[in-house]
Amino acid sequence: MATTSLGGGGGGGGDSSVGVGPKIEWNEGKRRFETEDKKAYLEYSLRDDGKVMDLVHTYVPPSKRGLGLASHLCVAAFNHAKSHSLSVIPSCSYISVSLSLSLFSSFFSFRFPLSSFVSDF
C-alpha cells in the first residue's frame, strides 16, 4: 500500500503549527485521501479510463469534527486532480455543497462587497 504525503504536519505545538494544516496522504490502493491516522478520509472512484475522479464520500469521526479536516481532504483531492490533469465529479454531498458555497461566496464578495449592503448609523 503506497501512500504519498500531500500536506504539512499539524503536530508539534507552539507557534510553528499555526496556519499549517494536517498531513493528508493519498492512499492509491484504497482510492482515498486520508489523515495520517487514517480516521478521516475522502473516497473516490476513477471513471473514463482514469481521466475523471469521482469524489464519492467524506468521513470525519465525531471526535474530530469541526477542525476543518473534510475541507483539507477536499483541497488535497482537488490539488491531486489538477496535478494529474483529471476532471472532477463532486458526487459527495459535502463536497458539492462546499464547492457551491465557495463559488457563491467568491462571486458575491467580488460583485457586491458587504459594505455596499451595510449603512452607516
Contact yes or no for 41/59 (Cβ under 8 A): yes
Q: Is 92 assigned a catalytic role?
A: yes
Q: What is the dihedral of CA 32, 35, 37, 42, to 10 degrees?
A: -40
| Region of 12 on the Ramachandran plot (φ > 0 left; ψ -120 to 50 alpha; else beta) | left
Residue found by looking up cell 465557495 in the block: 102
Q: 55, 70, 92, 95: which one is catalytic?
A: 92
Nearest to 88 by CA among 57, 56, 54, 58: 54
Residues taking part in catalysis: 92
